Amino acid sequence: MSVTPVFALTPGEPAGIGPDLCLLLAQHAQPHPLVAIASRALLAERAKQLALSVELLDVSPAQWPQQPAPAGSLYVWDTPLQAPVIPGQLASANAAYVLETLTRAGQGCLDGHFAGMITAPVHKGVINDAGIAFSGHTEFLAELTGTAQVVMMLATRGLRVALVTTHLPLKDVAAAISSERLQRVARILHADLRDKFGIARPRILVCGLNPHAGEGGHLGREEIEVIEPTLEQLRSEGLELIGPLPADTLFTPKYLDQCDAVLAMYHDQGLPVLKYKGFGAAVNVTLGLPIIRTSVDHGTALDLAGSGKVDTGSLQVALETAYAMAASRARG
C-alpha cells in the first residue's frame, strides 16, 4: 500500500442520493485521497442538476492519486452505466453497474490499492429485479473476499451495536441463534474492536433474546440453553462479556457508560435504539472482513435525489471511521 492511504467511495444506487452525497462531499477537502468509483457522466449530470461546480479528476489503476483532491474536486475512476439515469426512477439495467463499482472497490482493497472502502446506499430490490441474487453489501463483500462469517455493526457517538442475526424474518431468529453462530460473532466483534478500533480489552454487553432475558426460563429458554453457556465458554477464553441482559434496560447509561459495544440478538432489537440516538450521524461497519468497509446508516432516499436537500452527515462519519480504522490497523 502507498505511503499516502487511498480510499474508495462507491455512490450506490445511481437514481438515489448517493451521487449527490459524493458531489456535496467534494465541496470540502478530505485528509486522504478519495476515489469515487462511479460513472463520470452520471456525476457530471447530477452536478449540473444540483448547480454544483465540481471538477471531476480522472484516475485509474494505472496511476492512483498521491494527494487529497482540492476542495471543489473529486477523483473519479470512471465506471460506465448500462442505462440512462433519471433521479428517483429505478432502472434494473443498472444493477450490474452498481455491483461493478462494489467489485472494483472491494478488489482494490484486497489488492492493497485502497486502505478501505466507503459505500453509499444501494437498492436491494432493483438488483433482485434484474435477476441477480443480492441481499446486501455485507453479504456481497463477504463472498467477494472469501469470508465465511461477517458481522454487521452500527456505531454513533457513544454507542456501538453489533448483530448476531441480520436480515431474517422475526419468526426465524430464535432458531438461527446457535452456540456456534454466537461464538463466531462474539469472537469477530472482540477481535475487530481490538485490531481495527484499537481497544486493548473490549468490554461487550450482550442482550438476551426474550423479554427480561427469559426471566429464568418463564419467558423462553434460549438464554438458559444456548446464550448463557456460550458466553461462559467465551469468557474462559478471555473475552469480557456481560450478560445476557434484558434489552429494555441494557440501553441505559448505567450499562452503556461501562462498555465498548453491545451485541444484540436481532436487527430490530438493537438498531432502533442506535438510530434514535444518532440517525444522520451513524455509520455501518462490516466486521470480520480482511478489508475495511464502512457505510452510511440510511437508504437511497429516491424522493430526494437531485433535490439538493440531503445531509452528508452520515457519509462524513463513515469516512472518518474508515480513516481511523485504517490508522489503527497501520499502527498494528
The pLDDT, as a whole number, for residue 81 is: 97
Collapsed DSSP state (helix, strand, coil) of residue 129? helix
Q: Are strands 283-287 and 151-156 parallel, antiparallel or unpaired?
A: antiparallel
- Domains plus CATH for the chain? 7-147+289-330 (3.40.718.10), 151-275 (3.40.718.10)
Q: Residue 36's closest CA among 15, 70, 12, 67?
A: 12
The pLDDT, as a whole number, for residue 2 is: 44
Each residue's pLDDT, cut to its tens digit, for the chain (332 residues) gives: 446 899 999 999 999 999 999 999 999 999 999 999 999 999 999 999 999 999 999 999 999 999 999 999 999 999 999 999 999 999 999 999 999 999 999 999 999 999 999 999 999 999 999 999 888 888 899 999 999 889 999 999 889 999 999 889 999 999 999 999 999 999 999 999 999 999 999 999 999 999 999 999 999 999 999 999 999 999 999 999 999 999 999 999 999 999 999 999 999 999 999 999 988 889 999 999 999 999 998 899 999 999 999 999 999 999 999 999 999 988 87
CA distances from 102 to 99, 178, 261 (A): 5, 31, 28
Sheet strands side by side (includes 261-264): 55-58, 73-78, 34-38, 7-10, 116-119, 293-296, 283-287, 151-156, 159-163, 261-264, 203-207, 240-245
Give the whole-angstrom CA distance, residue 158 versus residue 173.
27
Residues comprising the binding site for a divalent metal cation? Answer: 167, 212, 267
Q: Residue 285's closest CA among 184, 181, 136, 161?
A: 161
The alpha carbon of residue 121 and the mean position of all alpha carbons in its chain are separated, in whole angstroms, by 9
The pLDDT, as a whole number, for residue 157 is: 86
The pTM for the full model equals 0.89
The pLDDT, as a whole number, for residue 4 is: 85
End-to-end CA distance of the chain: 15
The pLDDT, as a whole number, for residue 132 is: 92
Residues comprising the binding site? Answer: 137-138, 167, 212, 267, 275, 284, 293
Grid cell 480510499 is found at 7
Residues comprising the binding site for substrate? Answer: 137-138, 275, 284, 293
Q: Residue 300's closest CA among 39, 90, 52, 138?
A: 90
Q: Cβ distance 87 to 46 under 8 Å? A: yes
